[in-house]
Amino acid sequence: MTLLSIEDLSVVIRRPGRRVAALSGVNLSVEPGEVVGLVGESGGGKSMVARSIVGLLPGGSRTSGRVMFDGADVLTMDAAELEAFRGHGAAICFQNPRGALSPTRTVGRQLVDRLVTHRSLAPAPAREVAAELFESVGIRSPRRRLDAYPHELSGGMAQRVMISLATGCAPGLLIADEPTTGLDVTLTREILNRFRLAANAERRGVLLISHDLASIAEVCDRVVVLYAGTVVESGPGPQVLHEPAHPYTRALLRSVPDIDGRPVTATPGAMPLLTEAPSSCPFAPRCAHATQLCTADLPVAGPLAMDWSAACFHPRSGPLDDSAEPPVPAEIPPAGTVPSAGTATSPGVKESVLRIEDAHVVYRSRFGGGGHHALRGVSLSVAAGERLGVVGESGCGKSTLARVMLGLVQPSRGRVEVAGQALAELRGARLRRLRTRAQLVFQDPIGSLSPRRTVQDAIGEPLRAAGVPAAERASRVARALERMELDPSILGRRPHELSGGQAQRVGIARALVGEPDLIVFDEPTSALDVTVQAQILKVIAEVSGDSSRGSVFISHDLATVRGFCDRVVVLYLGRIVEEGPVEEVFGNPGHPYTRALLSSAPSLGAGYGGPQVELTKDLEEADAAGGCALAPRCPFATDECGEQEQELRPYGASLVACRRAAEIPALIER
Amino acid sequence: MAEASGVREAGADRRFASSLITVGSVILAVVAVAVLFAPLLSSWGPEEIDPLASLAPPGGAHPLGTDLNGMDVWSRVLHAARLDVGIAVAAVALAVVAGSLVGLVAGYRGGWADDVLMRVLDVFQAFPTFILALAVAALLGGGTANLVAVIALVNAPAYARLVRAEVRSIRELPFVEASLTSGSSFWGVLWRHVLPNSLTPVRVIAPLNCGWAMLTLAGLSFLGLGVPLPTAEWGAMISLGSGDVVAGRWWTSVPPGLFLLICVLGFSLLGEGLQERADSTRR
Amino acid sequence: MRILRFVLRRLLQLVPVLLGVVVLTFLLVRVLPGDPIRTILGPNATEADAAAARARFGLDRPLWQQFLDYVGGLFTGDFGTSIQSGAPVGSEMALRVGPTMELVVIALAVALVLAVVLGIWSARHAGRFGDHTVRVAALIGNSVPEFWLGLVLVLVGYSVLGWFPAPSGRVDPDTELSLITGADLLDAALTANGPAFVSALEHLALPVATLVIVIVAPLLRSVRASALEVLASEAYTAAAAHGLKGRLLLRGYLVRATLVRLPALAALVFGFSIGSTVLVEYVFSWQGFGQWALRGLLYRDYPVVQASVLVIALFYVVVFLIADVVHAILDPRVRI
């Protein structure tokens, strides 16, 4: 019997002056023991589906259709039935586990609360059960953790607690809303496997919600793709992932940079916010295959095969990376194809625009005592026309490195030169002028624009600071705007009136307008939706192709860096562990850490071809003593690794900070 | 039980906020008319003595009766609005400007200037504001200028703190870094980016503060620390009539208090409405 | 143990602030115009009389010597001698602090309970008529001049209805209440004096009501705002979505999380009510600390001014310290 069956569900949210058709005619079902993935970009209606299942729709929403759970319609339940159903029938794991745990109650009590409510246990035995549950989700020393408050937990730990809370209600259906956002790759895998386990071992239905098809596809039996509140495609995971039928699914998948280095294709436009249920295909305006039929009529989901359907008049077939497929709207030039970019040129031959020597940064903690060592001796240089990628997990010092490059953070030791001049040697107006030679593009596009200033002001600011007269300023702003493919009507707007993609284009225009020697992109796409991300990547690829300028691209995502960098630096806890040409680092990594990063990166295509390497511990659990910082987590570490600091030494065409780099291939064999 | 989800309709808040703002503004507009046209609205002067009537009950020539000295209560209540509103608004304006400037520079600069300021504010904060106003007013003596200074002085630290805190959080936002990397100077960033964004909470607090300043002023006058007597002032009038209340003669002190209440309420409604609107936009 | 250490550290940090207060008041009362000696001597006194009086109170000695004497006295609990009454300031003050504290503490307690109950109720009915009524009523309360409100309550409660005693004093003298702490209700309870207890309650009713009406608004709005925030928070939504119900949801997930921010504000309001009591005591002839300190100020009674300012500052900072400790107990995220 079907556990959950959503039939023709529509949700319209009415607010004063605003009306949003959040869901239109959604059909979806989950069987016991089945993992169903629900994917799509933000605004597509994923969370709204989750909320309708537990009857938690926002104020002012009207629903039609049915949400059948075990034969009862959730939408028509009264308050008492709903209370009984929530948790026990379907339980949600929330997106931000730390926010979803009550800050003033120990996590143990929060779990006991659920057990007492849903399993009718007395508090004392409930505590025993809670400890067992904690253990079963992989929390070490569970009894001690029961008395912890949420703020004392790491992100991964909090997510585990959240899963135990949801499963503690003994629900038939487990809903996970973006359960792995903000977790690093290793943890992501583990958490996703927990859900697979819940379906296999406990026969629960699982609805897994994510914006990232690639990362969840492996654990899903079926995948449902949402676009603008409608289901555009639904089918078995492997099919949807590798030979999607709906043009949107294909666009979505093509927008994701992949570790195997296949080109990213950007789809123009953005998802519409519908005010009425659509009467034609909502994707038609962005679709390369759209015909008159698509803009006139609404396609219904048509079956393509067993369990596989797509709401499209012209469904595609064949594998995704069929390069013969006709109109490809825009392709990001892969590294090395831009003629001016000197891929093979070693730094030093060309004039270097940025040179950092042995930079150390220590953030003093406010109340004395130690402090946080963010960078521990980083040296690198960027030549004009070169594109350097910097990768690493969160907390590795990436953002600090960006700030050092811009002179926003003074290194406590070491030297930073921009355009041949040392930042530390200048003061006042000359320092300000030198600073304009390097520009930063921020992670948070809207936050990096002053809320009370217009787009015109924002883009023109570097010029104003440099004393460029108003008339010339306007024309240069217009030129930068044009290069970003933005409409001039945007000039009078303020940041909150921009979409994320527009704001980031404005940010890039601001960085570009003063013709700097160096542009640093600090995670420029991580706050954006997937298809928008691809568009911005295309813009960045174009901008960083200028031969007079060096670019630094900082990201936690290896695949993005692979897309268009010439050289890559891998950071781990404030140190460079590997540095080399992009093909070399991705194709023949030397450092165990790089190997582990590549092994765990999700991939739609061939993925990382080399042997798999897994680190033995989470970053949070490993206490680095002296010696190699990775030693506590490294599967190849010996006692000597824990004693000796590792220096960069040649390994193939790269530099690798590992004494055993050469032995590792042999070690893996065994 | 309320919507179990805790999710509410944002519209209700905004509607309530606008009705608060409307009612508050209407009250303040009426007060403004009273302030401007007080002489036209009363047949007696505020300090004019009717020798035939002392403590006369309302009615006849005196719509709200007369006080102990035979002065017309209606006329005095109207004229007092000028003084009370004037002093309060002037004092708050002074406090806003002085406090914000100090908070802005200290918050953005940091360092020793900030440390010194914080220590001074600590000492200020060791006293409840009304007590502080009381002490300073008692030591300085009454009079209009002194009252403005006293009320501004006790209110300014709050603005300094508010703006300082705001500046410190704005200073860490990406757009300030963005502006610095664009080559803008320290003062340029302060003036063009930090200042306009840091005054948002001040705009909300200032009207509330005007109401509170009027209450402080009236309180000081009630204790005899305000303006000297024949001058029409609400607090002093209430004080003069306080003895009559026990005897059941309500008209000498109830009307000035009621006017004061309405006037302060106007400011409070306006401030609350603005705050509510700011909150509902943020949500 | 951590809390004890925190309290000790904070008390140490108070030393410079209180020292600043001591120096500042000592200097300010002497620098600003006004002469305490003139106020006790009357208009006919000669220069010689004045000089003699000055010598009697040690005011003829150099400033630094006076200051050292004063500070030295403080360490032994000696606040000096009142110029007006000639009595030791310490014992005079002791009589005055009790009644005022009784008034403020009872009013604050009532206001806190009222604010928490109404605030949470209001938040759970946000946007509805009841919520709006509560909020507007609180706003009006916050806009009322307390001294006038006191008078109106006297007019209605005593002059018109006759339900409450006349606004003169804190307890009926016929009940022969013996004085222990100065807080009459407490004294009556300690001496098991039933009639005095009832009388003290009757006398407290109107001034407490006045204070409560005036101070409940800021507390209420803060509780309501925090409760709204908690209700809209993911944590609360998650608890509700997991089917926790009724009292468990209210007590475990709403109330404590809501109260987290209240202590700091309550301390601020405590200070505000100390200010208000000066006015309220005046209206109800309470013979409390406020009236005493005010008279000291007006007559430039140096020792009285210095002592009362110091005591107010001390009370205020200690209340803030208590608030921080309560906050730390309520909110596990606070590290102390």
Instruction: Report the distance separating Cα C14 and Cα B169, nearest Å.
Output: 27
Angle, CA C140 vertex, CA C136 and CA C143 arms, to 5°: 140
Of residues B213 and C184, which shows the higher confidence score? B213
Task: Name which residue leads in pLDDT, A330 or C213.
Answer: C213
Average pLDDT of the residues in C159-165: 82
Q: What is the average pLDDT across B159-165?
A: 88
Structure confidence at residue B282 (pLDDT): 58
The letter for the amino acid at A642 is: G
Name chain A's partners: 3 or more CB pairs within 8 A.
Answer: B, C
* Residue A189 pLDDT: 78
Assess whether pLDDT exceeds 50 at residue A484: yes
Please spell the DSSP secondary structure of A249-273, one letter per residue. HHHHHHHS--TT-PPPBPPPS----
Mean per-residue pLDDT for A40-56? 86
pLDDT beyond 50 at A35: yes
pLDDT at residue A94 tops 50: yes
Residues of B in contact with A403 (CB under 8 A): 177
Residue-wise pLDDT for C294-312, tens only, equals 888 888 888 888 898 888 8
Tell me what the mean pLDDT of segment A192-215 comes to: 86
Q: Cβ of A452 and B196 within 8 Å? A: yes
DSSP secondary structure string for all residues of B3-52: -TT----HHHHHHHHHHHHHHHHHHHHHHHHHHHHHHHH-SS-TT-B-TT
B259-275 pLDDT, tens digit per residue, is 899 999 999 999 888 88
Q: Alpha-carbon distance A226 to A271, whole Å?
A: 11
DSSP, collapsed to helix, strand or coil, labels residue A56 as coil
**pLDDT single digits (tens) B208-254:** 889 889 999 999 888 888 887 788 888 888 888 787 777 778 888 88
Could you tell me which residue, C78 or A334, shows the higher pLDDT?
Answer: C78
Report the pLDDT averaged over residues C184-205.
84
CATH classification code of C96-299: 1.10.3720.10
C-alpha–C-alpha distance, residues C127 and C132, integer Å = 7
Phi-psi region of A363 (alpha: psi -120 to 50; beta: other; left: phi over 0): beta
pLDDT bracket for residue B10 (50, 70, 90): low
Chains within contact range of chain B (3+ C-beta pairs < 8 Å): A, C
| The overall pTM is greater than 0.90 | no
Q: Specify the length of chain C in residues.
A: 336
Class of residue C222 by CB neighbours under 10 A (exposed 0-12, middle 13-18, buried 19+): buried
CA distance A118 to A130: 13
- ipTM score for this prediction: 0.83
The single-letter code of the amino acid at B220 is L
Round to whole Å and give the CA distance between B11 and A188.
39
Query: CA angle A72-A74-A79, nearest 5°?
Result: 110
Pairing of strands A550-555, A387-391: parallel
Domain parsing of chain C, residue ranges: 96-299
Give the model's pLDDT for residue B9.
52
As a whole number, mean pLDDT of residues A574-590 equals: 90
| Subunit contact B182:A436, Cβ cutoff 8 A | yes
pLDDT over 70, % of chain A: 91
Q: Tokens 């930063």, residue?
A: A440
CB neighbours of residue C19 within 10 Å: 12
Order the strands of the A90-93 sheet from edge to edge.
Answer: A90-93, A173-177, A205-210, A35-39, A222-227, A230-236, A308-310, A302-305
pLDDT tens figures, A452-474? 889 999 999 989 888 889 899 99
Subunits with 3+ C-beta pairs closer than 8 A to C: A, B
The pLDDT, as a whole number, for residue A326 is 42
Give yes or no for a contact between A612 and A619, defined as CB atoms under 8 angstroms apart.
no
Are β-strands A4-15 and A18-30 bridged in parallel, bridged antiparallel, or unpaired? antiparallel
A387-391 vs A567-572, strand pairing mode: parallel
C123–chain A nearest CA distance, Å: 15
What is the nearest CA distance from C16 to chain A, expressed in angstroms?
Answer: 19
Chain A: residue whose CA lies nearest to B184: A465
Average pLDDT for A427-434: 82
The whole-chain average pLDDT of chain A stands at 83
Best mutation target among B182, B192, B200, B282 (most A Cβ atoms within 10 Å) is B182
Report the amino acid identity of residue C75.
Answer: F
Separation CA A406–CA A411 (nearest Å): 11
| B183 contact A CB<8A | yes
pLDDT bucket at A600, cuts 50 / 70 / 90: confident
Tokens matching residue C40: 């006790």
Cβ of A87 within 8 Å of Cβ of C242? The answer is: yes
Which tens digit of pLDDT belongs to each residue from A396-417?
888 889 989 988 888 888 899 8
Which residues is B173 bridged to in the sheet? Answer: none
Kindly state whether B186 is in contact with chain A, defined as any CB-CB distance less than 8 angstroms. no
| Residues from chain A contacting residue B3 (CB–CB below 8 Å) | 59
From A324's Cα to the closest Cα of chain C, the distance in A is 47
pLDDT on residue A344 = 42
The pLDDT of residue A507: 93
For residue B224, what pLDDT is reported? 84
* Residues forming a β-bridge with A359: A378
In this complex, is the C-beta atom of B58 within 8 Å of any C-beta atom belonging to chain C? Answer: no
How much is the pLDDT for A258?
A: 80
Give the mutation candidate from B181, B189, B199, B203 for the A interface (greatest A CB count, under 10 A). Answer: B181
pLDDT exceeds 80 at position A475: yes
Contact assignment for B5 to A57 by CB distance below 8 Å: yes
Half-sphere exposure of C333 (CA within 13 A, CB side): 13
Angstroms from C139 CA to nearest CA on chain B: 7
User: In this predicted model, what pLDDT tens digit does every residue of A2-30 receive, in sequence order?
Assistant: 889 999 999 998 876 678 888 988 999 99
How many beta carbons lie within 10 A of that of residue B59, not counting itself? 10
For residues A209-219, average pLDDT? 81
Average pLDDT taken over every residue of chain B: 82
Contact C331 A103 (CB under 8 A): yes
Closest CB from C243, C257, C260 relative to A88: C243
Number of Cβ pairs < 8 A linking chain B and chain C = 167
pLDDT digits (tens, 9 = 90+) for A360-378: 988 775 444 556 788 888 9
Whether A532 contacts A352, CB under 8 Å:
no
Taking only the tens place, the pLDDT of each residue in C17-48 is 888 888 888 888 887 777 777 777 777 777 88
β-pair type (A90-93, A173-177) = parallel
Rg, Å, chain B Cα set: 23
Q: Which residues contact A172 (CB under 8 A, 6 or more apart)?
A: A3, A32, A69, A70, A89, A90, A204, A205
Is the pLDDT confidence value at A389 over 90?
yes
Residue of C85, C83, C25 whose CA lies nearest to C56: C83
Burial environment of residue A454 by CB neighbours within 10 A (0 to 12, 13 to 18, 19 or more) = middle
Position C113 scores a pLDDT of: 95
How many A/B residue pairs have CB atoms within 8 Å?
A: 93
Nearest C-alpha neighbor of B231 from the set B34, B79, B89, B88: B79
Residue A578 is predicted with a pLDDT of 93
Which DSSP letter does residue A222 get? Answer: E
Helix pair angle (B200-222, B234-246), 10° resolution: 50
160-189 in chain B: CB under 8 A from chain C: none
Q: What is the pLDDT of residue A329?
A: 44
Q: Would you say residue A626 has pLDDT above 90?
A: no
Handedness of CA B167, B172, B175, B179 (dihedral sign): positive
| Pick from A17-21, A256-260, A605-609: least confident | A605-609
Mutate to test the interface with C, among A52, A83, A104, A146 (most CBs of C within 10 A): A104
Kindly determine whether residue A104 and residue C332, on different chains, have CB atoms separated by under 8 Å: yes
d(CA B149, CA B140): 10
Residue written as token pair 């115009």: C33
Q: Are C243 and A99 a contacting pair at CB < 8 A?
A: no
Q: How confident is residue C121, by pLDDT bands cut at 50, 70 and 90?
A: very high
pLDDT of residue A328: 41
Distance, in angstroms, between C253 CA and closest chain A CA?
Answer: 7
Buried b (16+ CB within 10 A) or exposed e, A330-342: eebbbbbebeebb
Query: Would you place residue A569 in the very low, low, confident or very high pLDDT band (cuts 50, 70, 90)?
Result: very high
What gap in Å lies between CA A542 and CA A264, rounded to an integer? 13
Write out pLDDT tens, residues A140-192. 788 888 888 888 887 778 888 888 888 888 788 999 888 877 676 667 778 88
What per-residue confidence (pLDDT) applies to A341?
A: 37
Q: Give the pLDDT of residue A670.
A: 67
Residue C241 is nearest to which of A56, A99, A117, comparing CB atoms? A56
Residue C33 burial (C-beta neighbours within 10 Å; 0-12, 13-18, 19+): exposed
Q: Which residues of C touch B265 (CB under 8 A)?
A: 139-140, 143
Give the torsion through C-alpha atoms of B212, B213, B219, B225, to 10 deg: 170
pLDDT at A622 (0 to 100): 58
C-chain residues near B239 (CB < 8 A): 147
Grade residue A624 by pLDDT with cuts at 50, 70 and 90: low
Supply the pLDDT for residue A339: 40
In order of start, what are the domains of chain A with their CATH numbers? 4-254 (3.40.50.300)
Q: Rounded to 5 degrees, what angle do the CA atoms A88, A125, A101 make?
A: 50
Average confidence score pLDDT of chain C:
85
Instruction: Determine the Cα–Cα distance for residues A441 and A444; give it in Å rounded to an integer.
Output: 9
Residues 6+ apart with CB under 8 A from A556: A184, A391, A392, A393, A394, A398, A523, A526
Res. A284: pLDDT tops 70: yes
Q: Could you tell me the pLDDT band of residue B8, with boundaries at 50, 70 and 90?
A: very low
Pick from B211, B246, B272: CB nearest C166: B246
Residue A159 CA, distance from chain mean position: 17
**Residues of C near A (CB-CB distance < 8 A)?**
233-245, 248, 252-253, 256-257, 260, 330-333
Tokens of A109: 């009590």
Share of chain C above pLDDT 90, in %: 11
Phi-psi region of A574 (alpha: psi -120 to 50; beta: other; left: phi over 0): left
Return the CATH number of the domain spanning residue range B33-44+61-282: 1.10.3720.10
Ramachandran region, residue A317 (left: φ > 0; alpha: ψ -120 to 50; beta: rest): beta
pLDDT category, A133, cuts 50, 70, 90?
confident
In chain C, whose CA is at the least distance from the CA of A177? C238
Q: Which residues of A365-374 are buried (b: 16+ CB within 10 A; e: fewer)?
A: eeeeeeeeeb
